[in-house]
């Protein structure tokens, strides 16, 4: 049994990469409340294209708006084909509150210890706020049986 915890930021790419590399049986998505661009919870299992790249720039020649990436992108759960019973969202009200983030990480640790008997467990802290990264790393340092991973 493998358990993966990922912090969710604005880009789905590192999460997809971590998921494919680790091949978890259960995944915790630590995300901020709301939908993009201000929150990331919609990226996990939201409707439409919550993982689309909405960045644009103004064309210097014609003055039109040009997308920088693909504006279409289904939610992470759809892209990765994760069954409903194989993931959980942990939603942070304030992803810049270190105490809230660390408490959420401790809650995940406790739930994993009580619910699963994983032979491998990892935290990918690439996405999310710097505070989310700090909370994830603090958990990994306090409980070294969690592997810490960063995706590029």
Q: Output the tens digit of pLDDT for each of the chain's 152 residues.
A: 999 999 999 888 899 999 999 999 999 999 999 876 678 998 899 887 776 666 678 888 888 888 766 667 788 999 899 999 999 999 999 999 999 999 999 999 999 999 998 999 999 999 999 999 999 999 999 999 999 998 86
Query: Rounded CA gap, 112 and 50, in Å?
Result: 28
Please, where are the H alpha helices in the chain?
13-22, 41-45, 76-80, 98-115, 130-142
Q: Write the CATH number of the domain with boundaries 2-48+76-149.
A: 3.40.50.10770
Burial 65-81 (b: 16+ CB within 10 A, else e): eeeeeeeebbbbbeebe
Residue 17 near residue 127 (C-beta atoms within 8 A) = no
């Amino acid at each position: 049994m493998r358990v993966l915890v990922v912090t969710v930021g604005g880009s789905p790419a590192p999460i997809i990469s971590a998921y494919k590399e680790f091949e978890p049986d259960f995944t915790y998505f630590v995300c901020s409340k709301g939908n993009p661009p201000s929150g990331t919870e919609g990226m996990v299992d939201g409707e439409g294209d919550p993982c689309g790249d909405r960045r644009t720039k103004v064309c210097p020649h014609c003055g039109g708006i040009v997308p920088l990436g693909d504006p279409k992108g289904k939610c992470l759960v759809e892209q990765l084909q994760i069954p409903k019973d194989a993931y959980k969202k942990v939603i942070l009200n304030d992803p810049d509150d270190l105490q809230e983030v660390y408490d959420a990480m401790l809650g995940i640790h406790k739930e994993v210890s009580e619910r699963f008997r994983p032979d491998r467990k990892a935290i990918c802290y690439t996405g999310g706020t710097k505070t989310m990264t700090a909370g994830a790393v603090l958990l990994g340092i306090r409980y070294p049986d969690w592997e810490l991973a960063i995706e590029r």
